[in-house]
Amino acid sequence: MSVSESKPVAHADRYAVVGNPVAHSKSPYIHAQFALQTGERVEYDRLLAPLDGFVEHVQAFHAAGGRGLNVTVPFKLEAHALAHKLSPRAAAAGAVNTLRFDADGIFGDNTDGFGLVRDIEVNLGVSLEGARVLLLGAGGAARGVVLPMLERRPSEITIVNRTAPKAHALIEQFAGAASEFGCLLNGGGPQAVDPKPYDVIVNATAGSLDAALPECDERAFGTGTLAYDMMYGAQPTVFMRHAQALGARAADGLGMLVEQAAESFFVWRGVRPEGAPVLVALRAQLAAQAT
């Protein structure tokens, strides 16, 4: 077959992560690995949007042939408002981190909670079914993971926040789902922490960014406790070090990052990549930074 007769190479579909700031994002590396792994023809970039220009940037990306976007800080609420159709988990979270451009409009999803649950259950080997879970924080990060955790049918989720009314509002929002899945959903201020070990403690506060510990009774941490911080870095977070000092097993949120990305890839392509090998590679990169 001559060159002129050869089949044209299919062009790559365009995706990106949009945020401000966005230069630090590991999403392009993660999705490049997923594309190699699955054979999907995907081109993935970073898209820096001005704080007052999110919608315009998304529309321009779509008009130029873009197929979907990951959405990071501070645009998850704007992405929720922009979507024409929401997944149940995005509607429950009140925020969107994944946009897919369909023929009939923009589909919004939230894969953060799925990423957290999959990292805990698959990568870390801890089942949430029947577990006693303590969720520290009641902001956007916490709200995005409550429904996916409830779907795993834990026996109890206690939501604790420095300002109790925020925790109570979240408990009220998910009371129906908790009843459906047979889970006791309770909480309030820091005094609502049960002074005996939980199976899983999730730190959904932003405290680790400022090396600040969330207020929590130390008796909640035991040798059988998985203490999970949604944050991650080259070094263990202050929350992780605190948990380890109390005898608990500690984990950071890097696996959540990889697994939510894998779920986004599935939402876009209908193909589910394996997160574990990409997580191993990212761990090695972080370890190299730490030395």
**Other beta carbons within 10 Å of 114:** 24
Kindly state the tokens that stand for 204: 């959904």
Q: Is 112 annotated as a binding residue?
A: yes
Q: Is 196 annotated as a binding residue?
A: no
- Reported residue count of the chain is 291
Q: Is 72 annotated as a binding residue?
A: yes
Residue 98 host element (H or E): strand 98-102
Instruction: Report whether 158 contacts 127 (CB < 8 A).
Output: no
DSSP assignment of 160-223 equals E-SSHHHHHHHHHHTHHHHHHTT-EEEEESGGGS-SS--SEEEE-SSGGGGT-PPP--GGG--T
Q: Is 38 annotated as a binding residue?
A: no
Q: Is 141 annotated as a binding residue?
A: yes
Q: Is 144 annotated as a binding residue?
A: no
Q: Is 6 annotated as a binding residue?
A: no
Catalytic residues: 76
> How far apart are the C-alpha atoms of 78 and 54, rounded to whole Å?
8
Q: Is 138 annotated as a binding residue?
A: yes
Q: Is 208 annotated as a binding residue?
A: no
Instruction: Report whether 205 contacts 145 (CB < 8 A).
Output: no
Instruction: Report whether 109 contacts 87 (CB < 8 A).
Output: yes
Q: Is 4 annotated as a binding residue?
A: no
Q: Is 137 annotated as a binding residue?
A: yes
Instruction: Report whether 242 contacts 15 (CB < 8 A).
Output: no
Q: Is 67 annotated as a binding residue?
A: no
Residue (of 146, 261, 253) closest to 208 by Cα position? 253
Q: Is 161 annotated as a binding residue?
A: yes
Positions at the binding site: 25-27, 72, 97, 112, 137-141, 161-166, 230, 232, 253, 260
Positions at the binding site for NADP(+): 137-141, 161-166, 230, 253
Positions at the binding site for shikimate: 25-27, 72, 97, 112, 232, 260
